[in-house]
Structure 1
């Protein structure tokens, strides 16, 4: 399972073929089954093949992490607030003000049940398994953003693809620097929750 050819086929199936198939019309239960099988496979490989130990690294640079996140968040806040204001002003912070319970529920469920599994697959697994396939680190990071966007192809929404590509770049760079699934998951949850908060939920297919 650690051969280069095996990893190449694995990459193609998990990160290209499977996501593209989810954008094709066929029974949802089959898609859910394939997605579940894919995640179980990823977890198995991480635990049994790669022998990864999931524990918090005591040497993590929390202060520098938070500084970087808040700088990037400030830019995201300004850009997305302006975007919503000029494209659909009525949606600006609508969910937060009109349905705070839905907002709280979404932030919790999204952060725990969506963000962390995504980061396990697209950062932890991807970086652990496929770094040996690429000599160019910039290409490796860029491709991570591409496959992350491809993983959201089933939304059939151009805005989602653009945002997930940009987010994928940010998350890949963070993971490359920190080697921490926890930190990149926190960053991912903050940015994603903000998009829902600012009023971009309906644009991105979130429940509103």
Structure 2
């Protein structure tokens, strides 16, 4: 029987790997934004660290994992196709930010979270993961790409 404390260990190790990759990418991709939020707006950063998992990650997981897997899971004979389609739709929902980095990160994150939900069938567990991954994205400096459209021009 798979226990919650075993799952927390898995999340911890996955988070260490993903955080290292996100922080490294952020540092080299846009050094001017690296750790900008915690350095420049510490209390806003703390607020985001607390509220993002509750007000953003959890509701997204209700729709993109819990609802999607329960409603559409039986349409897919192949679990890998289900996970891929779920990640694609999760990523596509972020197209409003008009940024390929956002699309790439949400697709990869969607794959990770869809696989996790598929394996454990737990809204709470996948929401914890989503919250942690989102928090590291905001901490790293890449969060700037996730809260407003980049390069949007009219005329």
- Aligned counterpart for 2:78 among listed residues 129, 133, 136: 136
* Aligned counterpart, 1:100: 42
State the aligned residue count: 148
Q: What are the superposed Cα offsets for residues 22-66 of structure 1, whole Å, 9 maximum, x if unpaired?
A: xxxxxxxxxxxxxxxxxxxxxxxxxxxxxxxxxxxxx86222212
Specify which structure has the bigger relative contact order, considering alpha-carbon pairs within 8 angstroms and separated by 6 or more residues: 2
Q: Does 1:73 align with 2:27?
A: no
TM-score, normalised via structure 1 length: 0.66
Deviations 1:95-117 (A, max 9, x none): 11221110012222321111111
Pair 1:164 & 2:88 matched: no
Match of 2:143 among 196, 201, 205: 201
- Residue 111 of structure 1 corresponds to 53
Residue pair 1:159, 1:204 contacting (<8 A) in 2 also: no
Q: C-alpha distance in 1, partners of 2:79/2:108?
A: 17
Q: In the alignment, is the contact (CA less than 8 A) between 2:57 and 2:127 conserved in 1?
A: yes
CA RMSD after TM alignment? 1.6
Runs of 5+ consecutive residues of structure 2 not aligned to the other structure: 149-155
**Unmatched runs of 5 consecutive residues or more in structure 1:** 1-58
Is this contact kept in 2: 1:94–1:199, CA < 8 A? Answer: yes
> So what's the TM-score if we normalise by structure 2?
0.87
